[in-house]
């Protein structure tokens, strides 16, 4: 990830690995084999980032740096070895919250690095973070987007805080930590306390 500070690079791998774990956990929920574990981990781990770079028109990051694929495979093997656990579903929610916030910030940061405008950087951050829901669709599970939970909103908040902070001149690493904290706190509140946004009111 040339041109980005080391902490952001580390956050990038964190986002990939954590999202890969959620993909493998989704495969575990449907009791798939180890190959499907790996496929789900890769789809979820690098899918959002791939969508972002294709839309922006820059080189696909994992083609030139194999560590991303290794991180996804390691996540799949880890979940496979851990096996059945009663806390698996709850772990999926919390790992997903971490990945959501991390990837929203990283997606926005990489979009900024590609020279897009701030609003587009926010959109790219949100898309990068929320593409992970594809694991649920592929697994035939209800998507979190259909449950009125605060999900996309948390990704948008993380990306917006990061982009806004850097636009005001704040150092990128500090802005990344603040954006991550904001997005994770909002998603954590939705998980722990059932926070939702107002639904459409029928007349």
Q: Is residue 65 assigned to a domain?
A: yes
Per-residue pLDDT at 122: 97
Is 182 within the bounds of a domain? yes
Give the pLDDT of residue 116: 94
- The predicted pLDDT at position 121 comes to 96
Taking the C-alpha atoms of residue 67 and residue 70, their distance in angstroms, rounded to an integer, is 5
What phi, psi does 200 have (nearest 5°)?
-65, 130
Q: Which domain holds residue 25?
A: 6-193
Asked if the structure places residue 70 within a domain, the reply is: yes
Contact 44, 25 (CB under 8 A): no
100 located within any domain: yes
Number of domains in the chain: 1
| Block residue for tokens 């594809």 | 134
CB 112 within 8 A of CB 150: no
**Does a structural domain hold residue 198?**
no
Structure tokens at 99: 């990945």
Share of the chain above pLDDT 70, in %: 82
The pLDDT value recorded for residue 3 is: 47
Domain presence at residue 122: yes
State residue 203's pLDDT score: 59
Count of C-beta atoms within a 10 Å radius of residue 5: 14
pLDDT at 144: 63
**Positions in the chain short of pLDDT 70:** 1-8, 84-89, 132, 134-147, 200-203
Choose among 155, 160, 147, 157: nearest CA to 195: 147
Question: What is the pLDDT, as a whole number, of residue 117?
Answer: 96
In this prediction, residue 87 carries a pLDDT of 67
Give me the pLDDT at residue 155, please: 95
Task: Let me know if residue 200 belongs to a domain.
Answer: no
Structural domain contains residue 1? no
């Amino acid at each position: 990830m040339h041109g980005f500070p080391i902490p952001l690079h580390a956050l990038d791998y964190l986002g990939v690995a954590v999202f890969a774990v959620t993909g493998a956990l989704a495969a575990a929920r449907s009791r798939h084999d180890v190959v499907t574990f790996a496929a789900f981990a890769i789809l979820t781990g690098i899918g959002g980032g791939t969508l972002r770079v294709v839309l922006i028109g820059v080189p696909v990051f994992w083609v030139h740096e194999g560590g991303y694929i290794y991180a996804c495979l390691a996540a799949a093997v880890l979940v496979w070895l851990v096996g059945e656990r009663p806390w698996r579903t709850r772990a999926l929610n919390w790992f997903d919250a971490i990945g959501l916030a991390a990837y929203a910030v990283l997606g926005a940061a990489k979009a900024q690095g590609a020279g897009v405008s701030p609003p587009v950087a926010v959109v790219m951050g949100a898309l990068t973070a929320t593409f992970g829901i594809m694991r649920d669709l592929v697994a035939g599970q209800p998507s979190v987007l259909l449950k009125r939970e605060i999900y996309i909103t948390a990704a948008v908040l993380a990306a917006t805080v990061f982009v806004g902070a850097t636009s005001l001149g704040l150092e990128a690493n500090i802005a990344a930590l603040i954006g991550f904290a904001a997005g994770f706190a909002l998603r954590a509140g939705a998980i722990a306390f059932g926070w939702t946004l107002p639904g459409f009111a029928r007349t």
